[in-house]
């Protein structure tokens, strides 16, 4: 770089850094941020809420088809509240983190019962709903009503940790408090000298901009600092600590579990059991599970009053949850003579097509598809 170009770059950098953090985020979002997401076209708090819950721990590209399908099936909070939980789980099936679907259904009922079906738009009211924490409630309020509150999702925490030089794992209580303190301080800059004719739009642009910068520029690996509006006074960039901040989560050995699953078939039907309302895959349909240490033949005789004609062990399937890994050992069982009775309580016979359309976890769907 020539001396003139270098000098101009320093001048441009000083001018950029002289604008407030919030002004730079807002200006960048209006020019370079995301504007074509389906929930951005209105201030409908219900649709904003759906998108925010779906986006928890899930990328936008994955959420888009589920969001479209969910809104088509449940166009209003009243429709969602009135729907059976099994139907809600069925539409959600495959998106993962199923507790979110349980929270959606419970929150919809609360909105109908306590708010007359009118979705609240204040962060304080939103945070009382199941599944809505401080950051999610603040983001919803910003988009739905222009209320000014700080947010701190995973992407935003990474942006602030790098820009402010906050070291430590974001899940640590003291580190989290420092990040919230920075977020609260910076959000106070919103709207100073850059208000639009809409008045409230600055906070929406700021909130969306922080999310977009974290998702598209200030990524965990290979961040695009050359395009970031916050690069000029970013501590991590100045001190060459971009790849050190934020500090990764302390690694612990991931516990491993195993489960034996029974693929029981009767003519062209297969048996599924509904899982308990708590725990992994709560309320979803899955293959019956043989308790650890139990013999498969004895379990089938005891639980289904049937005798096994043959057993065929299928290839194991591995699935990783947030807190443990699960290796599933499916066993296809041919029954010599099915008893002429209905399925046991909590279980039902499904055709393969009906099972694939039911509320089943993604790994079970994969297993069912591979088991012709």
Q: Which helix (H) or strand (E) holds 290?
A: strand 289-290
The average pLDDT across 223-238 equals: 97
Report d(CA 217, CA 201) in Å as an integer: 22
Note the pLDDT of residue 13. Answer: 43
pTM for this predicted structure: 0.83
Locate 40 and state its tokens. Answer: 């951005």
Out of 3.40.50.1820, 1.10.340.30, 3.40.50.300, 3.30.365.10, select the CATH number for domain 3-238. Answer: 1.10.340.30
Taking CB atoms within 8 Å and a gap of at least 24, the contacts of 123-129 are 123/147, 123/149, 126/49, 129/103
Instruction: List, for residues 62-119, the tens digit of each pLDDT value.
Output: 999 999 999 999 999 999 999 999 999 999 999 999 999 999 999 999 999 999 999 9
Report d(CA 153, CA 236) in Å as an integer: 19
Nearest to 154 by CA among 234, 58, 45: 58
Report d(CA 167, CA 228) in Å as an integer: 20
Higher pLDDT, 330 or 337: 330
Report d(CA 1, CA 297) in Å as an integer: 76
- Statement: residue 255 has pLDDT above 60: yes
Q: How confident is the model at residue 342 (pLDDT cuts 50, 70, 90)?
A: low
Report d(CA 90, CA 182) in Å as an integer: 40
> Using the 8-state DSSP alphabet, how is residue 251 labeled?
P
Question: How large a percentage of the chain has pLDDT more than 70?
Answer: 91
- Statement: residue 243 has pLDDT above 90: yes
- Statement: residue 337 has pLDDT above 80: no
- Statement: residue 3 has pLDDT above 50: no
Number of H helices, E strands in the chain: 16, 8
Mean pLDDT lowest for which of 151-160, 185-194, 197-206? Answer: 197-206
Q: Are 47 and 104 in contact (CB under 8 A)?
A: no
Per-chain mean pLDDT for the chain:
89
Say yes or no: do domains 3-238 and 256-370 share a fold: no
Higher pLDDT, 279 or 147: 147
First to last CA, the chain: 64
- Statement: residue 1 has pLDDT above 50: no
Report d(CA 72, CA 99) in Å as an integer: 21
Nearest to 144 by CA among 203, 73, 60, 77: 203
Report d(CA 109, CA 158) in Å as an integer: 34
Report d(CA 116, CA 123) in Å as an integer: 18
Instruction: List, for residues 124-173, the tens digit of each pLDDT value.
Output: 999 999 999 999 999 999 999 999 999 999 999 999 999 999 999 999 99
Instruction: List, for residues 6-32, the tens digit of each pLDDT value.
Output: 333 333 444 445 689 999 999 999 999
Segments making up each domain of the chain, as ranges: 3-238, 256-370
Note the pLDDT of residue 267. Answer: 80
201: helix, coil or strand? Answer: helix
DSSP assignment of 217-240 equals IS-SSS--GGG-TTGGG-HHHHTT
Q: What is the CATH number of domain 256-370?
A: 3.90.79.10
Note the pLDDT of residue 299. Answer: 87
Higher pLDDT, 336 or 157: 157
The average pLDDT across 288-309 equals: 86
Question: How large a percentage of the chain has pLDDT more than 90?
Answer: 74
Note the pLDDT of residue 146. Answer: 94
Q: Are 157 and 245 in contact (CB under 8 A)?
A: no
DSSP assignment of 320-349 equals E-SS-EEEEEEEEEEESS--SSPPPTTEEE
Residues 6+ apart with CB under 8 A from 93: 284, 358, 359, 360, 361, 362, 365
List the catalytic residues: 52
- Statement: residue 204 has pLDDT above 90: yes
């Amino acid at each position: 770089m020539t001396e003139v170009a270098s000098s101009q770059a320093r001048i441009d950098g000083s001018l950029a850094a002289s604008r407030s953090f919030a002004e730079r985020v807002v200006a960048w979002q209006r020019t370079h941020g995301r504007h074509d997401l389906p929930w951005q076209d209105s201030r409908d708090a219900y649709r904003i809420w759906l998108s925010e819950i779906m986006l928890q721990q899930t990328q936008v590209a994955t959420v888009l088809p589920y969001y479209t399908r969910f809104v088509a099936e449940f166009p209003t909070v009243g429709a969602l509240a009135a729907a059976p939980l099994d139907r809600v789980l069925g539409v959600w099936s495959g998106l993962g983190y199923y507790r979110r679907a349980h929270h959606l259904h419970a929150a919809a009922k609360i909105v109908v019962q306590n708010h007359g079906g009118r979705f609240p738009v204040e962060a304080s009211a939103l945070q009382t709903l199941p599944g809505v924490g401080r950051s999610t409630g603040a983001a919803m309020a910003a988009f739905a009503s222009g209320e000014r509150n700080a947010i701190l999702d995973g992407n935003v925490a990474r942006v602030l940790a790098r820009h402010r030089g906050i070291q430590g794992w974001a899940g640590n209580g003291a580190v989290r408090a420092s990040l919230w303190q920075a977020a609260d301080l910076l959000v106070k800059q919103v709207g100073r000298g850059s208000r639009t004719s809409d008045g409230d739009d600055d906070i929406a642009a700021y909130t969306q901009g922080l999310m977009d910068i974290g998702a598209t520029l200030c990524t965990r690996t290979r961040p695009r600092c050359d395009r970031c509006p916050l690069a000029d006074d970013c501590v991590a960039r100045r001190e060459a600590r971009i790849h050190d901040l934020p500090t990764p989560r302390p690694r612990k050995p991931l516990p491993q579990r195993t489960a034996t699953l029974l693929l029981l078939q009767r003519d062209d039907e297969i048996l599924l059991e509904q899982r308990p309302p708590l725990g992994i895959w709560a309320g979803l349909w899955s293959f019956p599970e043989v308790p650890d240490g139990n013999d498969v033949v004895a379990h089938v005789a005891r639980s289904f009053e049937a005798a096994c004609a043959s057993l065929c062990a299928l290839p194991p399937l591995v699935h990783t949850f947030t807190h443990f890994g699960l290796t599933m050992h499916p066993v296809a069982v041919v029954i010599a003579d099915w008893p002429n009775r209905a399925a046991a309580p909590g279980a039902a016979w499904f055709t393969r097509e009906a099972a694939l359309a039911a509320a089943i976890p993604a790994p079970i769907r994969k297993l069912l598809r591979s088991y012709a």
